[in-house]
Structure 1
Amino acid sequence: MKIKKIFNNNVALTEDSNQTEMVVMGRGLAFQKKNGDEIDPVNIEKTFITPSKAFADKLSDLLDEIPYEMMELSKDIIEMANGDLQTELNDSLYLTLSDHIHFAVTRTKNGVPIKNALMWEVQKFYKAEYRAAFKALNMIKAETGVSMPEDEAASIALHLFNARQDGSGMEETMAMTNIVNDVTNIVKYHYGFDFNEESMNYSRFITHLRYFAYRILRGELNDDNNDGLYQQVKLQYPQADQCTKKVQAYLKKQYEMEMTTDELAYFIIHIQRVSNREKKKAFL
């Protein structure tokens, strides 16, 4: 395995005998090496194939900013999550998670915590990912001495969810996209306005829809029925309730899916939030 590019003393781009490019990680594996030298396999702790030149370039930029210790910490967290979730997480997670953890630790040290707007949904619907992410907080504290706020567990859980690599492929992605588009159109035409697709409100709403669509296609829907919450929010937000009923009818017709009162309540809240804020902006 020959070195094609050295990112730093601990990470290098290599090429094997089949001309397959791989990024290899390991403490000191590229120390005093140069392009064309062989890498000792004993020193390699992690190997992953580069999907594109853009990926390798992004890795190079990232390594200019992130200490190798953060990459090692992310590797340990991902290995823990692979075992706990019984899946193989996408290699791109090594980049996104290292970047997130490094930034989050820096923010926390500087007293700048960030609230996770999806905390409620993550705890409720992605319990396995959240449990693994909570373990990650303890691993981060043990390595860095920094106690992260619980919101960071939700953020890490979303990274784990997005990195699932279980053969779902393009067919499922297209089906998820169709559900998101259809539900978005239902909301848009019910209220009679276009979304500001650059807004955070829209981004949060679409994120919720994507995870909801994922659960529909996997048959992993919430089985709780919190009738008290549903009765409260449908009285408080009657127009959002009417819109949610249209979504409910669409899902029943297209996917033979019966929404629980929990799901109905969450949809009412999300639709009320995004519609109220979009309407305010429309009339400014």
Structure 2
Amino acid sequence: MEIKQILNNNVLLATDEAEQEVVVMGRGLAFKKKPGDAVDAAKIEKTFILEDAGVANKLAELMEDVSEVYLDLSYKILELAKSHLTYKLDDYLYIALTDHLSFAITRHKNGIDLKNPLLWEIRRYYKQEFQIALKALEIVEEETGVRLEEDEAASIALHLVNSQLSGESMGAAVQVTEMVNTILTIVKYYFKIELDEESINYDRFLTHLRFFAIRFIRKEKQDEMYDNFLYEQIQQKYAKAFGCTERIAAYIANHYNWEISNDEKVYLTIHIHRVTYRQTKSEEN
């Protein structure tokens, strides 16, 4: 194995016997070494292959400002994720997660813990990723002594979910976009309003719709938690939003041959009410 680029004293990029780019980690691995030298195999602690050639340069740039401690954490978390998830994780996750952990842990040490507004959706719809992310918080605590809030588990899970979509074909990405755009259009025409795209409720709704579309693309079956009382309450309390949900359900059934569950109707209705309530209330007044 030959050194291609030294990232810091303990991390370097190398090429293996198959001419693949690999990231190699180990204490003092790059000490007094230069590109072209052989890697000291006795000092190697971790090795991972980068299939995406563009990731190596971005990783090198990131390591100029971020400690390898966070790359090591990302490595351990992603190895855990790979052992539980059936889909392939994108190489860019090493960069995104390393950068996120560095920022999150630094913020926490400075007494700043941000709330994740998508915690509810992520925990509800991406149970496996969220459970992995909760274990990731344990890894972070074991390695750094820092216990991050559950909101950070949601952020880590979201990184896994985003990687999941990046592995799809361009056609799948287009289909997700088309479905989301059409549903937003249905909502706008049904309520005869323009949605406030700067609002947090719009962001929540958009994320919910994106997750909704990804589940369709992947043919994922949602666990049915159907509560008849809650369903009827939502139907009565948010009658107009529920009517819009029924319009969306009809569109999905006609165009995609996919029947939306009652649970999904409940969540869609709540999101539609949130994203339209202020504007419709203002117009009524």
Greater mean deviation of Cα atoms: 104-113 or 269-278:
269-278
2:43 counterpart of 1:47: no
Partner in structure 1 of residue 272 of structure 2:
271
Can you list the C-alpha shifts for 1:181-205, whole angstroms capped at 9, x where unaligned? 2112212222334445555443332
> How many Å apart are 1:240 and its aligned residue?
1.7
Greater mean deviation of Cα atoms: 63-72 or 201-210:
201-210
Can you list the C-alpha shifts for 1:115-134, whole angstroms capped at 9, x where unaligned? 12121222221111111111
SS of the residue 1:69 aligns to: helix
The alignment-based identity, stated in percent, is 44
SS of the residue 2:34 aligns to: coil
> How many Å apart are 1:88 and its aligned residue?
3.2
2:239 counterpart of 1:238: yes
1:175-190 correspondence runs (5 A): 175-190=175-190
Distance 1:179 1:153, change over 3 A: same
The whole-number CA distance in structure 2 between the counterparts of 1:79 and 1:278 is 46
- Cα pair 1:3 1:14 within 8 Å, conserved: yes
Can you list the C-alpha shifts for 1:74-125, whole angstroms capped at 9, x where unaligned? 1111111111224432221111111112221222222211112121222221
Partner in structure 1 of residue 256 of structure 2:
255
The whole-number CA distance in structure 2 between the counterparts of 1:165 and 1:3 is 33
Distance 1:64 1:201, change over 3 A: farther
Greater mean deviation of Cα atoms: 116-125 or 71-80:
116-125
Partner in structure 1 of residue 90 of structure 2:
90
What TM-score results when the alignment is normalised by the length of structure 2?
A: 0.86
- Cα pair 1:87 1:166 within 8 Å, conserved: no
Partner in structure 1 of residue 11 of structure 2:
11
Greater mean deviation of Cα atoms: 243-252 or 162-171:
162-171
Distance 1:226 1:57, change over 3 A: same
SS of the residue 2:38 aligns to: coil
The whole-number CA distance in structure 1 between the counterparts of 2:51 and 2:103 is 24
SS of the residue 2:203 aligns to: helix
- Cα pair 1:8 1:30 within 8 Å, conserved: yes
The whole-number CA distance in structure 1 between the counterparts of 2:115 and 2:13 is 37
Paired amino acid for 1:170: M
What TM-score results when the alignment is normalised by the length of structure 1?
A: 0.86
- Cα pair 2:52 2:91 within 8 Å, conserved: no
Partner in structure 1 of residue 113 of structure 2:
113
1:1-284 correspondence runs (5 A): 1-15=1-15, 21-41=21-41, 43=44, 45-49=46-50, 51-53=52-54, 55-164=55-164, 168-197=168-197, 199-222=199-222, 223-276=224-277
Q: Which runs of 5+ in 2 are unaligned?
A: none
- Cα pair 1:23 1:50 within 8 Å, conserved: no
Paired amino acid for 1:61: E
The whole-number CA distance in structure 1 between the counterparts of 2:278 and 2:33 is 56
Greater mean deviation of Cα atoms: 265-274 or 186-195:
186-195
The whole-number CA distance in structure 2 between the counterparts of 1:221 and 1:281 is 39
The whole-number CA distance in structure 2 between the counterparts of 1:166 and 1:196 is 28
Paired amino acid for 2:260: M
Paired amino acid for 2:89: L
Greater mean deviation of Cα atoms: 55-64 or 209-218:
55-64
CA RMSD of aligned residues (A): 2.8
SS of the residue 1:163 aligns to: helix
- Cα pair 1:113 1:149 within 8 Å, conserved: yes
SS of the residue 2:48 aligns to: strand
Greater mean deviation of Cα atoms: 87-96 or 259-268:
87-96
SS of the residue 1:164 aligns to: helix
- Cα pair 1:89 1:165 within 8 Å, conserved: no
